[in-house]
Amino acid sequence: MKDFTIVILKKAGEKTMYVMDYHHHTNHSFDSTASMIEVCKKAIENEIQEICFTEHFSVNPLAPTYGHIVFENYLHEIRECREKFHSQLIVKAGIELCEPHLLKDQYDEILQPLDLDFILGSVHNLNNQKLRLALNEDPETAYERYFNELLSMVSASDIDIIAHFDLMKRYAYKEHGLYDVQEYQEIIELVLKKAIDRNIGIEINTSGLRTSLKQTMPSIEIIQLYKDLGGEILTIGSDSHKADTVGANLTDALSLAKDCGFKYIYKFDKRKPIPVKI
């Protein structure tokens, strides 16, 4: 596995690849202290052309993400970064929603007036319990519950991309090893087919490559299955929570996308997916 941030080498006269990182957290998320300006500076240093901030948000008072973000401040800082770096970096405003299929009306009421470019949907909790705690039961049952929750999310939520599709493995692999994708293929296919039917994509989340997991989320098997089923909308994100990891392993993800047969990755503008040739 290559372990570097983003370095694009090109031959004389060859056009540099358009590099995007569509998953970032800063101090507007409960689990990050990163400065948005420092993230932008690092993105420019790493030759990234476009980034999207995707701060955690939940309307569930029992979720750790509840009550942290102040949208007025968040969007104001987005505008400041756009003005400051307008000639060097495209900055998009996004959000990562936790279990957006639950309390759906409350999400819609808060998000509808906002001028967002991009919405990630994620499952971090099962029955208001963190995923690592759900593993206290039989891990096979925990995975089954997790993928069924993804199906509920993708069936009902107003989202653009499923974030870190097989996130459960982040918490399970050290004690229980890596899961067998084939064992859950039926429910995984249902999630992917529903996503494709509703024009919802998936991301290649590179954060697992920075840990002993040594895998993207989802694994290559799921990325390939998504492609084989007809899926096209694919984003790439570092899931960075600090400036130092902005853009980490994006080239690995781009290579993986090409190996699975993708010719495009996607950017978003006002929730509209726009293909960018790899």
Q: Which domains does the chain have, with CATH numbers?
A: 20-277 (3.20.20.140)
Token pair 């902005």 is found at: 246
What's the pLDDT tens digit per position in 222-232?
Answer: 999 999 999 99
Sign of the CA dihedral with 192 first, then 217, 40, and 94 last: positive
Sign of the CA dihedral with 219 first, then 224, 225, and 231 last: positive
Q: Tell me the mean pLDDT in the region 61-89.
A: 93
How high is the pLDDT of residue 1?
36
The span from the CA of 218 to the CA of 224, in Å, is: 10
Sign of the CA dihedral with 165 first, then 170, 176, and 177 last: positive
Q: Assess whether the previous peptide bond of 275 is cis (omega < 30° from 0).
A: no
Cβ(33)–Cβ(243) below 8 Å: no
DSSP per residue over 253-266, as a string?
HHHHHHHTT--EEE
Alpha helices in the chain (DSSP H): 36-45, 71-84, 104-111, 131-134, 139-156, 168-176, 185-197, 220-228, 250-259
pLDDT band at 193, cuts 50/70/90? very high
Percent over 90 (pLDDT), the chain: 84
How high is the pLDDT of residue 7?
35
Q: Tell me the mean pLDDT in the region 172-183.
A: 92
The span from the CA of 50 to the CA of 115, in Å, is: 18
Q: Tell me the mean pLDDT in the region 80-87.
A: 97
Query: Number of helices (H) and strands (E), helices first, in the chain?
Result: 9, 11
User: What 3-state DSSP class applies to 267?
Assistant: strand
Q: Tell me the mean pLDDT in the region 180-191.
A: 97
Nearest 10 degrees: CA dihedral of 166, 181, 154, 246? 30
The span from the CA of 157 to the CA of 266, in Å, is: 20
Q: Tell me the mean pLDDT in the region 153-172.
A: 96
- Full strand arrangement of the beta sheet holding 161-162: 20-24, 50-57, 90-98, 118-122, 161-162, 201-205, 234-237
How high is the pLDDT of residue 105?
94
What's the pLDDT tens digit per position in 2-27?
Answer: 333 333 334 334 456 899 999 999 99
How high is the pLDDT of residue 13?
42
Q: Judge if pTM exceeds 0.85.
A: yes
The span from the CA of 217 to the CA of 235, in Å, is: 12
Contacts of 151 (CB under 8 A, 6+ apart): 187, 190, 191, 194
Out of 101-110, 136-145, 158-167, 256-265, least confident range: 136-145
